[in-house]
């Protein structure tokens, strides 16, 4: 347990693993772990985002002039927007701003936004690492927001000869440089996630608090146990599906962020997990049959919230047949369903891990972000792939431009 925020229980049974391979991976982990620590200290390395002394390409106080805007519209794709969406979803109860996310091509959404929302009360945050993302540019021009010296637009991209950077120069718009060595899916703790978080009113100091908890003292044993076991399963290629089974509504978009991180980082050279976000208990009534009795090619990450609800059910006057619900809270019911699932997984000999969060707050979210970033990078290095590139995605981007020409 890390400061009573995030509890990780790894119950991947030994019978699913290759014993000799585990020993080899454990030895490799030692060197990789040392390199990870060096990478965090390196100002030009992706993992420097976890360093408490990470340098932003702006003065945070420069954003204070945007605090009066009641609406925030974020335009981006993939890692450029998933982190902000995760932060908003998880900390929604603390946020008083109205958020809009343009992360797809949806003409009706654009039409309704233009019809109903006051652009003068909206700050537009446009993010694209390359500065040339087709969907992002399409949404910008569909909204028709680019005007000279607009005071409600912030552009974030690499400082190169790209559309967003050139647009900022031509129209005299606020521009913030996206660090070239940080890929989109790792950028949530950089300007890409921290700027929208600050504009939302989130405590960004707490959001970046103690990000290296999992490499300190004995806590690296959690990383070692998990990464060695998961790398072992990837080498065996028996378990190709990773089900992110979620009992916490506030975590849904955090898990979509996690989905991209895992899929793009590890899905290479005929290796990788297919991460699937599955919301429970809803999916108990649609996918559970397959989960328990279908192909044994799945491993489960189970997410729950350890909290007590004051509101309880009163079923006493309805029927004695449902007395088991009387004086129970919604969370108690969900916990019982989760425990029942875990018991069924054990009975059916299906591997799983359990993640239990203690609070809905910035520190918890920071630990979730940092843990999965570290775990994913280490697994990539253990299975001898580059966890930072995405060669096949670039291939599709090239093909798309050819079709449009």
Same domain, 277 and 370: yes
The pLDDT-based confidence of 1 (bands split at 50, 70, 90) is very low
Domain boundary among 176, 207, 238: 207
Same domain, 199 and 224: no
Q: Is the pLDDT at 326 greater than 80, yes or no?
A: no
- What is the C-alpha to C-alpha distance for residues 399 and 160, in angstroms, rounded to an integer? 22
Helix residue ranges, H only, 42-133:
82-90, 107-116
The pLDDT-based confidence of 316 (bands split at 50, 70, 90) is confident
Would you say residue 125 lies in a domain?
yes
Q: Which of 25-29, 169-173, 237-241 has the lowest mean pLDDT?
A: 237-241
Would you say residue 95 lies in a domain?
yes
Locate the DSSP E strands across 111-261: 122-127, 153-157, 174-177, 241-246
Would you say residue 1 lies in a domain?
no
- What is the C-alpha to C-alpha distance for residues 103 and 2, in angstroms, rounded to an integer? 33
Mean pLDDT estimate for the chain: 92
**Which letter does DSSP use for residue 215 in this model?**
G
**What digits encode the pLDDT tens for the residues 278-313?**
999 999 999 999 999 999 999 999 999 987 777 777
- What is the C-alpha to C-alpha distance for residues 334 and 346, in angstroms, rounded to an integer? 18
pLDDT mean over 164-193? 96
Would you say residue 399 lies in a domain?
no
Would you say residue 402 lies in a domain?
no
Cβ proximity of 228 and 239 under 8 Å:
no
Would you say residue 397 lies in a domain?
no
Same domain, 195 and 232: no
Q: Is the pLDDT at 121 greater than 80, yes or no?
A: yes
Q: Is the pLDDT at 327 greater than 80, yes or no?
A: no
The CATH number that applies at residue 305 is: 3.40.50.10490
Same domain, 158 and 228: no
Same domain, 14 and 77: no
Same domain, 169 and 246: no
Domain range holding 351? Answer: 6-36+210-391
Domain boundary among 178, 207, 236: 207
DSSP reduced 3-state for 22: helix
Q: Of 15, 22, 371, nearest to 225 (Cα)?
A: 22
The pLDDT-based confidence of 218 (bands split at 50, 70, 90) is low
Show Cβ contacts of residue 355 under 8 Å, excluding neighbours closer than 6 positions: 6, 7, 8, 9, 301, 302, 303, 304
Same domain, 76 and 191: yes
pLDDT mean over 23-35? 94
* Residue owning tokens 């490499």: 215
* Residue owning tokens 């918890």: 364
The pLDDT-based confidence of 329 (bands split at 50, 70, 90) is confident
Would you say residue 106 lies in a domain?
yes
Same domain, 196 and 289: no
């Amino acid at each position: 347990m890390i400061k009573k925020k995030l509890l990780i229980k790894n119950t991947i049974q030994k019978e699913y693993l290759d014993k000799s391979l585990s020993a080899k991976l454990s030895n490799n982990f030692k060197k990789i772990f040392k390199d990870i620590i060096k990478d965090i200290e390196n100002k030009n390395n992706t993992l420097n985002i976890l360093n408490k002394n990470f340098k932003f390409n702006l003065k945070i106080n420069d954003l204070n002039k945007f605090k009066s805007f009641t609406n925030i519209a974020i335009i981006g794709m993939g890692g450029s927007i998933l982190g902000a969406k995760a932060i908003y979803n998880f900390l929604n109860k603390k946020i008083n701003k109205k958020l809009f996310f343009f992360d797809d091509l949806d003409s009706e959404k654009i039409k309704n936004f233009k019809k109903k929302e006051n652009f003068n009360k909206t700050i537009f945050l446009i993010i694209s690492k390359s500065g040339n993302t087709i969907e992002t540019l399409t949404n910008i021009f569909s909204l028709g927001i680019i005007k000279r010296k607009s005071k409600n637009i912030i552009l974030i991209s690499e400082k190169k000869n790209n559309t967003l950077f050139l647009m900022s120069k031509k129209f005299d718009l606020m521009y913030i440089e996206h660090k070239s060595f940080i890929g989109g899916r790792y950028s949530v703790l950089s300007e890409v996630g921290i700027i929208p978080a600050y504009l939302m009113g989130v405590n960004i100091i707490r959001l970046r608090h103690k990000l290296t908890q999992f490499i300190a003292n004995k806590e690296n044993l959690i990383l070692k146990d998990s990464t060695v076991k998961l790398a072992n399963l990837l080498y065996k290629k028996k378990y190709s599906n990773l089900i992110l089974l979620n009992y916490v509504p506030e975590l849904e978009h955090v898990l979509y962020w996690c989905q991209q991180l895992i899929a793009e980082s590890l899905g290479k050279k005929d290796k990788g997990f297919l991460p699937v976000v599955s919301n429970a208990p809803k999916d108990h009534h649609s996918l559970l049959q397959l989960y328990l009795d279908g192909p044994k090619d799945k491993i489960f990450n189970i997410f729950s919230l350890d909290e007590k609800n004051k509101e309880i059910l009163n079923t006493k006057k309805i029927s004695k047949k449902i007395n088991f619900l009387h004086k129970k809270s919604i969370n108690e019911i969900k916990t019982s369903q989760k425990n029942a699932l875990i018991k069924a997984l054990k009975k059916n000999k299906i591997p799983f891990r359990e993640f239990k969060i203690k609070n809905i707050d910035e520190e918890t979210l920071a630990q979730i972000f940092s843990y999965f970033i570290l775990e994913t990078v280490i697994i990539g290095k253990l299975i001898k792939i580059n966890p930072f590139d995405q060669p096949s995605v670039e291939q599709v981007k090239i093909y798309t431009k050819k079709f449009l020409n």
